[in-house]
């Protein structure tokens, strides 16, 4: 299956439905079947998504003809102490999913503080070697930094087939995410783009009240998530748009408007521009709940949950709801005041959030 044959909706396997402490494989299997039956083929996971590759193997690879879908997964150099350990992630991914090749293989989450490690471990050469062997069909990288670094990488590695970027209407002009500038840089070098975080970790499925009013006045039947996903799917050069669906209801909603995808019309584009203006005035914390920050936290602070509670206050003025949500969090977990300021969270945050100072602000406002 070629890049040109790929439809504009991809199934992001980072936020799969849970059953107890693990992934709900039967529900995931049902979602996989719905996705394939609707004619979509692109499945995206990563070595670092807990349980995701194993669930992908059970729900998808073991149940469907391998040529009927495409698999994307990723290598994260920051987990590896040696070049050998980094390369082993590829073999582990193949074993977990029960496949002998990967359609779209990515070097994961490149940004200023880690991209040199991919060079140091010769991982670009490794991916090229595996592509020549036929065990990788298309090679790319996911990126969380600014357009200057993106151009540096694209110049150094013209061989890449595609780039995965965070793009959504809220971050289009966000100086910390630079969605538009990164999009334009990738297109300047002729690269196809896989879009991640089109709904900004779910935040745009429940946007601020003023934006909901805009959308509802135009089309009360359309979900708020549909505006976000159609915005990025309407851009030129998009390979596919990843939606991290967590249940069958989300799957049904996405399929309802993406099966026969229609780009935004001019009226809809104008409405999105108004929403972007509103978002530009927003004081919400731009957390996408990826949870990279929590993995090394010495105090196990549930940072994304605390930021979600704070955003109830910052986004919609829900002061009581925000305080209640924070109380529920700290009743069983560490609060914002437990932060020791070690900074490990800020080093891995793809959104470049000043987590230490934001936690302090959350603690002061919500306690």
The CA distances from residue 187 to 87, 105, 163, 184, in Å, are: 29, 20, 10, 5
pLDDT at 281: 65
Is the separation of the CB atoms in 10 and 240 below 8 Å?
A: yes
All domains in the chain, ordered by first residue? 3-280 (3.20.20.100), 303-366 (no CATH)
H or E, element range at 18: strand 18-19
355 Ramachandran zone, left/alpha/beta (phi>0; psi -120 to 50): alpha
Is 74 buried (19+), middle (13-18) or exposed (0-12) by CB count in 10 A? buried
| CA neighbor of 305 nearest in space, from 327, 282, 326 | 326
Quote the tokens at residue 303. 């940072």
pTM over 0.95: no
Count the Cβ atoms, other than its own, within 10 Å of residue 311: 23
Angle between helices 355-366 and 319-330 (to 10 degrees): 110
Query: What is the longest distance spanned by two Cα atoms in the chain?
Result: 58
pLDDT at 282: 65
Distance between CA 276 and CA 278 in Å, rounded?
Answer: 5
**Long-range residue pairs from 335-338, CB within 8 A, at least 24 positions apart, any chain:** 335/301, 335/306, 335/363, 335/367, 336/301, 336/306, 336/360, 336/362, 336/363, 336/366, 336/367, 337/363, 337/367, 338/299, 338/301
Question: φ, ψ for residue 298 (rounded to 5)?
Answer: -65, -20
Radius of gyration of the chain (CA): 20
Beta partners for residue 39, in sequence order: none
The CA distances from residue 139 to 78, 102, 147, in Å, are: 19, 10, 20
Query: Helix (H, G, I), strand (E, B), or coil: what is residue 142?
Result: strand
Is the separation of the CB atoms in 274 and 54 below 8 Å?
A: no
Residue-level pLDDT, tens digit, the chain, 367 residues: 788 889 999 999 999 999 998 999 999 999 999 999 999 999 999 999 999 999 999 999 999 999 999 999 999 999 999 999 999 999 999 999 999 999 999 999 999 999 999 999 999 999 999 999 999 999 999 999 999 999 999 999 999 999 999 999 999 988 889 999 999 999 999 999 999 999 998 999 999 999 999 999 999 999 999 999 999 999 999 999 999 999 999 999 999 999 999 999 989 998 998 898 888 766 789 899 999 999 999 999 999 999 999 988 886 678 888 999 999 999 999 999 999 999 999 999 999 999 999 999 999 999 9
Would you give the DSSP letter of residue 245? -
pLDDT at 3: 87
DSSP one-letter string for 305-327: HHHHHHHHHHHH--HHHHHHHHH
Quote the tokens at residue 35. 């996705």
207 Ramachandran zone, left/alpha/beta (phi>0; psi -120 to 50): beta
């Amino acid at each position: 299956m070629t890049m040109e044959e790929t439809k504009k909706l991809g199934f992001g396997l980072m936020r799969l439905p849970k059953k107890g402490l693990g992934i709900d494989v039967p529900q995931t299997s049902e979602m996989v079947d719905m996705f394939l039956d609707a004619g979509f083929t692109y499945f995206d996971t990563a070595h670092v998504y807990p349980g995701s590759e194993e669930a992908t193997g059970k729900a998808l690879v073991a149940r469907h003809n391998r040529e009927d879908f495409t698999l994307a997964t990723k290598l994260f150099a920051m987990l590896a102490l040696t070049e050998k350990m980094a390369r082993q992630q590829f073999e582990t991914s193949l074993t977990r999913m029960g496949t002998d090749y990967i359609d779209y293989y990515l070097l994961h989450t490149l940004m200023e503080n880690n991209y040199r490690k991919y060079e140091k471990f010769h991982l670009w050469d490794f991916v090229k070697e595996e592509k020549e062997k036929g065990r990788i069909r298309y090679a790319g990288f996911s990126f969380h930094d600014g357009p200057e670094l993106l151009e540096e990488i694209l110049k150094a590695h013209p061989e890449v087939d595609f780039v995965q970027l965070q793009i959504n209407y809220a971050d289009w002009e966000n100086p910390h995410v630079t969605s538009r500038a990164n999009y334009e840089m990738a297109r300047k070098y002729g690269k196809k783009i896989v879009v991640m975080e089109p709904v900004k970790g779910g935040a745009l499925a429940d946007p601020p009240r003023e934006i909901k009013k805009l959308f509802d006045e135009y089309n009360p039947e359309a979900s708020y998530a549909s505006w976000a996903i159609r915005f990025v799917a309407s851009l030129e050069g998009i390979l596919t748009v990843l939606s991290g669906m967590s249940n069958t209801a989300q799957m049904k909603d996405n399929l309802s408007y993406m099966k026969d995808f229609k780009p935004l019309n001019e009226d809809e584009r104008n409405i999105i521009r108004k929403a972007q203006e509103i978002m530009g005035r927003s004081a919400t914390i731009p957390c996408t709940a990826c949870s990279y920050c929590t993995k090394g936290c010495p105090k196990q602070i549930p940072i994304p949950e605390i930021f979600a509670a704070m955003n109830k206050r910052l986004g919609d003025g829900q002061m009581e709801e925000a305080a209640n949500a924070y109380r529920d969090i700290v009743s069983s977990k560490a609060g914002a005041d437990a932060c020791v300021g070690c900074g490990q969270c800020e080093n891995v945050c793809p959104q470049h959030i000043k987590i230490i100072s934001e936690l302090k602000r959350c603690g002061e406002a919500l306690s």
